[in-house]
Structure 1
Amino acid sequence: MPKIEDEGAGSTPPRRGRPRSIETTNAILESAYALMAATGLAATTIDAVARHSDVSKMTIYKWWPSREALLIDAFLHHAAQMLPLPPESSGTPATRARRHAAAYAEALQGEFGKVQLAVISECISKTGSAELFYARYLQFRRDALVGMIAAGQKDGSILAEGLPQDLYDAIYGGLFYRYVFGIAPITPAYARNLVDLVLRPKG
């Protein structure tokens, strides 16, 4: 998988051959995401991405092991720009968690949410699970935010005593659950309140 950003991006070992062009890689990923958002996944074929990005199908097939991997990487590329992980300098762990959860809740209401759900559904329909999505997209982001929660527990700014990975899942699993089933509107304010309810930040 092409290196998209410093957040980390999957575990597929690099293939031998000519180095990848960053410009060409970005063109492919941006074209794939644009097509997913505008026409849906069914129309986002390798042929369509090749035409839209003006890159040969051979290049795309050489750089990605499957169409699903390309779609996930395109989503990752977009998410890294739209929903970056909060840097340590941006406040306490609880403050950063509130900000990130609120941004995620807002993103779910637009094309980002629709594309994410479509990509996950595609993985499940093709492979029987969303494991590929987790491995190529979610794992690194989950690990980073779990580490942030653990740091807050260690410095005393987060009072919740559960395992940090369980606390993360309670927040983001809860937001995604409400979004998928349309149980109630998801707002940034709701996300911030959920973070406080789960993490019990000090002060």
Structure 2
Amino acid sequence: MGRPGVVMANGGDEGADGAPRRGRPRSIETTNAILQSAYALMATTGLAATTIDAIARHSSVSKMTIYKWWPSREALLIDAFLHHAAQMLPLPHASSGSPAARARRHAAAYAEALQGEFGKVQLAVISECISKTGSAELFYARYLQFRRDALIEMIAAGQNDGSILAEAPPQDLYDAIYGSLFYRYVFGIAPITPAYARTLVDLVLRPKS
């Protein structure tokens, strides 16, 4: 399944509504240059300085091309964050251990990422969405929903095979883990470490020993 505003496997691309756009397919190399430039600018100069003009200069891609491929600056910033997150925090593969073990690794990696530029950029992008649109719905639709659904499915698989003993709905278990990590990060309540994330996963999921 393609993602809104990103390159599809066949070389084409989708519009904001998920429907394939007509016309010349995107260049993957050019798309990556735009996304990498947008993320690099967000991480180094801040969100306010990450304008379409700045991204165009940094990536050596015309503004016309950028505006053609993204419906808004906010959509581009989210896709740039998604592009980086896919490399830094790939979704756990089914062959990489039990659902609980995969959940521990992913949550620990997320906790570690929050301590660096990744956490700052994520919070800045969410704040930008809320300030521009009044909600974080755009961030959820373009970034979080796909990843959340995949991890919920992983937790449900663990419940079905008996390796996860927690009986609550898998979406509630996911929210309890990642909501807690993000809540602690935003408000600086306590240090977030990979060890804490792994302990939290075990507390919430109650994996079978």
Q: 1-side partners of 2:161 and 2:183: how far apart?
A: 30
Post-superposition CA distance 1:37-81 (Å, at most 9, x none)? 000000000000000000000000000000000000000000000
Partner residue, 1:114: 120
Post-superposition CA distance 1:137-195 (Å, at most 9, x none)? 00000000000000000000000000000000000000000000000000000000000
Q: How has the CA–CA distance of structure 1 residues 57 and 7 changed in structure 2, closer, same or farther, with 3 Å as cutoff? A: closer
Q: Deviation at 1:8?
A: 14
Partner residue, 1:159: 165
Q: Deviation at 1:15?
A: 1.9
Conserved 8 A contact 1:72-1:119 = yes
Q: How has the CA–CA distance of structure 1 residues 97 and 68 changed in structure 2, closer, same or farther, with 3 Å as cutoff? A: same
Post-superposition CA distance 1:64-108 (Å, at most 9, x none)? 000000000000000000000000011000000000000000000
Partner residue, 2:134: 128
Conserved 8 A contact 1:7-1:140 = no
TM-score normalised by structure 1 residue count: 0.94
Q: How has the CA–CA distance of structure 1 residues 191 and 7 changed in structure 2, closer, same or farther, with 3 Å as cutoff? A: farther
Q: How has the CA–CA distance of structure 1 residues 148 and 7 changed in structure 2, closer, same or farther, with 3 Å as cutoff? A: farther
Q: 2-side partners of 1:74 and 1:53: how far apart?
A: 13
Q: 2-side partners of 1:82 and 1:175: how far apart?
A: 17
Gaps of 5+ in 1: 1-5
Q: How has the CA–CA distance of structure 1 residues 170 and 8 changed in structure 2, closer, same or farther, with 3 Å as cutoff? A: farther
Q: 1-side partners of 2:102 and 2:208: how far apart?
A: 14
Conserved 8 A contact 1:7-1:141 = no
Partner residue, 1:142: 148
Q: How has the CA–CA distance of structure 1 residues 116 and 167 changed in structure 2, closer, same or farther, with 3 Å as cutoff? A: same
Q: Secondary structure at the match of 1:8?
A: coil
Conserved 8 A contact 1:93-1:157 = yes
Q: Which runs of 4+ in 1 moved over 3 A?
A: 6-9
Conserved 8 A contact 2:152-2:174 = yes
Q: Deviation at 1:16?
A: 1.4
Conserved 8 A contact 1:105-1:175 = yes
Higher relative contact order (CA 8 A, sep 6+): 1
Q: How many residues align?
A: 194
Partner residue, 1:195: 201
Conserved 8 A contact 2:99-2:155 = yes
Gaps of 5+ in 2: 1-12
Q: Deviation at 1:7?
A: 15
* Map 1:67-82 → 2, pairs under 5 A: 67-82=73-88
Conserved 8 A contact 1:83-1:100 = yes
Q: 2-side partners of 1:30 and 1:94: how far apart?
A: 32
TM-score normalised by structure 2 residue count: 0.91
